[in-house]
């Protein structure tokens, strides 16, 4: 795990101050979406605007990097490409689906592009292909995708929008 930029520490501190029940919870992992600056920054902004309400890592990625798949209730700090914290998300639902079986509703929830399944399939096929080719693996339509719903957003103090209605102070 890379060392956090000071904004990652600050957003967690702000979040815990507003939600004391998390006071003894370790700071969640932080990451940016995608594999390039433009998409990473756009997706972080879509989270802040409450447009991006889902994400779809491949099961291949978890296996290749020997990472555990997240579970409902896990928190993550979303950053931009440079590691500046933008929001805290909570996983609210997780379902495995073959790439070819991802639904229009899920594509819409991801909030990217025109929110259509056609856009989602094109963009994600390109992304998974780039991700896998580096390791000598190849995309196929039957590969498993972790269709992850996210919510409970809490934006960094530097953003105008604070979305913390899902989290209670109790």
For position 75, which CATH number holds?
3.10.400.10
pLDDT digits over 48-96, tens only?
Answer: 999 999 999 999 999 999 999 999 999 999 999 999 999 999 999 999 9
- Does some domain include residue 170? no
What are the phi and psi torsion angles at 37 (to 5°)? -60, -50
Per-residue DSSP letter, 80: -
- Does some domain include residue 86? yes
SS3 (DSSP) at 155: strand
- Does some domain include residue 52? yes
How many domains does the chain contain in total?
Answer: 1
- Does some domain include residue 16? yes
Q: Which helix (H) or strand (E) holds 46?
A: helix 37-48
Nearest to 163 by CA among 76, 88, 75: 88
Domain that holds residue 132: 6-155
- Does some domain include residue 160? no
What are the phi and psi torsion angles at 167 (to 5°)? -85, 135
Rounded to a whole number of angstroms, the distance between the first and last alpha carbons of the chain is: 30
- Does some domain include residue 41? yes
- What is the chain's pLDDT, residue by residue, as a tens digit (170 residues)? 467 889 999 999 999 999 999 999 999 999 999 999 999 999 999 999 999 999 999 999 999 999 999 999 999 999 999 999 999 999 999 999 999 999 999 999 999 999 999 999 999 999 999 999 999 999 999 999 999 999 866 886 555 434 444 443 33
- Does some domain include residue 162? no
Report pTM: 0.89
């Amino acid at each position: 795990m890379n060392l956090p930029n000071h904004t990652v520490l600050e957003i967690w501190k702000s979040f815990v101050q507003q939600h004391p029940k998390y006071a003894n919870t370790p700071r969640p992992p932080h990451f940016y979406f995608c594999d390039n600056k433009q998409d990473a920054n756009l997706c972080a902004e879509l989270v802040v605007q409450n447009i991006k309400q889902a994400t779809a890592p491949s099961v291949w990625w978890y296996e290749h990097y020997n990472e555990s798949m997240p579970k409902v209730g896990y928190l993550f700090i979303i950053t931009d490409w440079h590691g500046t914290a933008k929001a805290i998300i909570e996983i609210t639902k997780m379902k495995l689906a073959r790439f070819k079986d991802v639904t229009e509703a899920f594509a819409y929830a991801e909030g990217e592009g025109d929110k259509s399944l056609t856009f989602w399939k094109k963009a994600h096929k390109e992304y998974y292909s780039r991700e896998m080719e580096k390791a000598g693996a190849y995309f196929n339509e039957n590969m498993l995708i972790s269709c992850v719903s996210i919510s409970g957003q809490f934006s960094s103090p530097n953003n105008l929008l604070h979305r913390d209605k899902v989290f209670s102070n109790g």
